[in-house]
Amino acid sequence: DGGITQSPKYLFRKEGQNVTLSCEQNLNHDAMYWYRQDPGQGLRLIYYSQIVNDFQKGDIAEGYSVSREKKESFPLTVTSAQKNPTAFYLCASSNRVGGGTGSNEQFFGPGTRLTVL
Amino acid sequence: KNQVEQSPQSLIILEGKNCTLQCNYTVSPFSNLRWYKQDTGRGPVSLTIMTFSENTKSNGRYTATLDADTKQSSLHITASQLSDSASYICVVSGRGSTLGRLYFGRGTQLTVWP
């Protein structure tokens, strides 16, 4: 099956701990993204990557870090510096970054719900 | 400021009834507009996509319209089913940036009752 997988589905963390969320895609997409979703708010972009070994900050990158060592993988680390990390995290990928009628359609993973205890 | 506003915030309808969700945007320059369906605890799934030159697009019981002049879009759901209960998110893509930036609305939470 082609698609995007995220793991784990639920994650609990104690305050002060770092935690890494996994995102893998087998769609051969160049671009990958991490979003955060809070109740009643639109998705907010944390980080994105257009190509292997390159990534850029989104709107709310503080307290997060990423790596893109492989085309199919884009893990997100939530660090202890993130003051309010409890949220639903969504990973997405697209064929390429940029405008166009359909070339930038983003396909989303199933999400990881992170709860800080 | 590029924004996407959706209304209503939430909506409850009876099974079999029709409904219409609204999306207004200020994103400019505009590339395309998508409607996504997001089931609770799941990732969003694309329903329709429309470019500047398209004013209507259907996907089964879902019909989206776009008025690029007034920067308004609607999603009409016909003969609703219980499985239509979800959040519907309007997403607008800008043009002219290397990111192909997406602007997300907050979504309309639709509940279909039997």
The alpha carbons of chain A give a radius of gyration, in whole angstroms, of: 14
Q: Count the Cβ atoms, other than its own, within 10 Å of residue B67.
A: 11
Residue of A nearest to B90 (CA): A42
Task: Give the CA count within 13 Å in the CB-facing half-sphere of A1.
Answer: 4
**Partner residues linked to B22 by β-bridges:** B7, B74
Chain-chain contact of A109 with B100 (C-beta, under 8 angstroms): no
Using CA atoms of B41, B23, A93, B56 in order, give the dihedral in degrees to the nearest 10: 120
What gap in Å lies between CA A114 and CA A95, rounded to an integer? 27
- Chain B from 55 to 84: CB within 8 A of any A CB: none
**For residue range B18-56, what is the model confidence (pLDDT) as tens digits?**
999 999 999 888 888 999 999 999 999 999 999 888 999
**For residue range A31-81, what is the model confidence (pLDDT) as tens digits?**
999 999 998 888 999 999 989 999 999 999 999 999 999 999 999 999 988
Which of A11, A27, A38, A43 to probe the B interface (max B CBs under 10 A)? A43
Provide the pLDDT confidence category of residue A1 given band limits of 50, 70 and 90: low
